[in-house]
């Protein structure tokens, strides 16, 4: 994930919401001082004392109402996402709908997930409780400005925690909207925004009770160091450079369609997106020809219109994409150029024969760039897939399911899809290994990240 605080020098004293399709400034927001942020933390600590004592049935009812709000106002929220960070409108609608589904899922399942577990021991009665920790600092990025917050905050709040949200500065209007949604049904705040500069986070981590960050490796290192120094539980989701492996017996048309969708969704700005494509030498030429023919037909333009790709979210991301293309030392087969004078649009890009040690393979490429390479054997495919500092996800295409399961055992990743697009799902744990982070979000595993797993033994 690109570091959420990559901003221009002239934005140092305020957050800027800029429409990346038109480059118009939508809104500005001054950063708050430490005293203001500390006051919000105090309010959240007061709320926590009440919220943790609120019966789980009442807590999940609030979450259910949040989900209903998201569904009822889906198109309005989607339009805000599109205008603030450039996501194609139909994809923004899908993002909000996914948020609503997550609320519905955790509203239904949280009582079961948090139910005490009874264990037979030499005590007359033994059980395990799952108690909330307190105020959780959520440091969230811009690329899925609603979903990233929902998938972190909803399980934590269901468990009885409250959230201090440090959102990305270029999506602060989404952050303000989310704060209203979460607090609409209570007489106390359970989520408050901290409009702080990145350097001020060091004052917050020592006084909260847990930290969840989705961001870059650099951000993870800094936040992880502070959390470790202050003995705070932490979840880090630091992005990925996911391999997409196509074997010779794959359904080629489905593999091509899925590869393009996985790489081009949100203009390539997805942590779990496929970013490195490895194709069997037996079908390499057919795959490449098929990808080019379909990429050529992608519609690019105003994300509020019926298009396939909108702009990148910021100018610096566009400039970084072109740096990665230049440094790839590969053959540019298609695209690779800026589109128009206004907006942060670029052509979808296909590169072959890139240097396996170049940025296009080593970094998390947040842009619609497809580097395609060839492999000959299963072992070589595994070796290429694992040749990365990241380990978030991977995709395998083959009709031999037993082969896929065997390959999957040796892929170093937290999430693997076979013959389908890889995406996060509230019902499954989400997270990675290596420099993709630590801990898990979503599912029962995610809800247990920010609880005290307390063992109780009793003799009557």
φ, ψ of residue 275 to 5 degrees: the values are -130, -15
Cα–Cα distance for residue pair 161/136, rounded to 1 Å: 7
Task: Specify whether the CB–CB gap between 163 and 139 falls below 8 A.
Answer: no
* Structure tokens belonging to residue 346: 């670029």
Catalytic residue among 83, 103, 271, 449: 271
Residue 271 annotated as catalytic: yes
Q: How far is CA 134 from CA 42, 168, 223, 268, 452, in A?
A: 11, 23, 18, 35, 10
Task: Specify whether the CB–CB gap between 80 and 173 falls below 8 A.
Answer: yes
φ, ψ of residue 329 to 5 degrees: the values are 55, 30
SS3 content of the chain, % helix, strand, coil (to 5): 40, 20, 35
Cα–Cα distance for residue pair 171/163, rounded to 1 Å: 18
- Which residue, 66, 95, 64, is CA-closest to 78? 95
Q: How many C-alpha atoms does 321 have within 13 Å on its Cβ side?
A: 30
Cα–Cα distance for residue pair 107/69, rounded to 1 Å: 14
Q: How far is CA 18 from CA 21, 22, 92, 147, in A?
A: 9, 8, 17, 20
Q: How far is CA 388 from CA 51, 167, 222, in A?
A: 42, 28, 21
Q: What radius of gyration do the chain's Cα atoms show?
A: 22
Cα–Cα distance for residue pair 122/393, rounded to 1 Å: 43
- Which residue, 230, 237, 182, is CA-closest to 210? 230
SS3 at position 454: strand
Residue 83 annotated as catalytic: no
Question: 378 CB contacts (<8 Å, ≥6 apart)?
Answer: 247, 403, 407
Catalytic residue among 5, 104, 179, 237: 237
Helices (H), 184-251: 217-229
Active site residues: 237, 271
């Amino acid at each position: 994930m690109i570091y959420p605080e990559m901003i221009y020098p002239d934005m140092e004293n305020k957050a800027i919401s800029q429409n990346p399709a038109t480059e118009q400034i939508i809104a500005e927001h001054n950063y708050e001082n430490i005293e203001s942020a500390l006051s919000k933390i105090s309010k959240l600590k007061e709320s926590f004392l009440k919220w943790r004592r609120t019966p789980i049935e009442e807590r999940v009812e609030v979450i259910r109402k949040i989900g209903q709000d998201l569904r009822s106002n889906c198109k309005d929220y989607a339009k805000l996402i599109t205008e603030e960070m450039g996501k194609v409108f139909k994809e923004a609608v899908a993002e909000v709908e996914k948020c609503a589904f997550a609320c519905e899922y955790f509203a239904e399942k949280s009582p079961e997930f948090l139910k005490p577990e009874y264990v037979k021991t030499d005590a007359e009665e033994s059980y395990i409780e799952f108690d909330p920790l307190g105020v959780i600092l959520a440091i969230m990025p811009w690329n899925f400005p609603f979903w990233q917050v929902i998938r972190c905050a909803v399980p934590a709040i269901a468990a009885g925690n409250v959230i201090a949200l440090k959102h990305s500065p270029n999506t602060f209007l989404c952050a303000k909207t989310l704060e209203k949604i979460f607090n609409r049904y209570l007489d106390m705040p359970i989520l408050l925004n901290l409009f702080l500069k990145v350097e001020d986070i060091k004052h917050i981590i020592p006084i909260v009770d847990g930290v969840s960050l989705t961001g870059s490796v650099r951000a993870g290192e800094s936040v992880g160091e502070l959390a470790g120094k202050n003995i705070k539980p932490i979840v880090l989701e630091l992005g990925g450079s996911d391999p997409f492996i196509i074997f010779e017996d794959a359904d080629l048309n489905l593999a091509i369609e899925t590869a393009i969708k996985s790489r081009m969704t949100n203009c390539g700005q997805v942590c779990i997106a496929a970013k490195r494509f490895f194709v069997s030498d037996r079908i390499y030429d057919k795959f490449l020809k098929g990808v080019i023919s379909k990429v050529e037909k992608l519609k690019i333009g105003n994300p509020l219109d019926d298009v396939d790709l909108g702009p990148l979210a910021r100018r610096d991301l566009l400039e970084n994409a072109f740096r990665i293309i230049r440094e790839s030392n590969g053959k540019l087969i298609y695209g690779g150029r800026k589109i128009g004078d206004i907006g942060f649009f670029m052509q979808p890009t296909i590169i072959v024969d890139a240097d396996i040690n170049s940025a296009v393979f080593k970094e998390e490429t947040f842009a619609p760039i497809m580097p395609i390479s060839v492999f000959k054997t299963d072992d070589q495919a595994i070796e290429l897939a694992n040749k990365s500092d990241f380990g978030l996800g991977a995709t395998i295409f083959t009709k031999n399911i037993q082969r896929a399961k065997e390959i999957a055992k040796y892929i170093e990743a937290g999430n693997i899809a076979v013959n389908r697009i890889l995406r996060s799902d509230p019902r499954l744990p989400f997270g990675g290994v290596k420099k993709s982070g630590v801990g898990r979000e979503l599912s029962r595993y995610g809800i247990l990240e920010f609880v005290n797993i307390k063992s109780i033994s009793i003799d009557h």
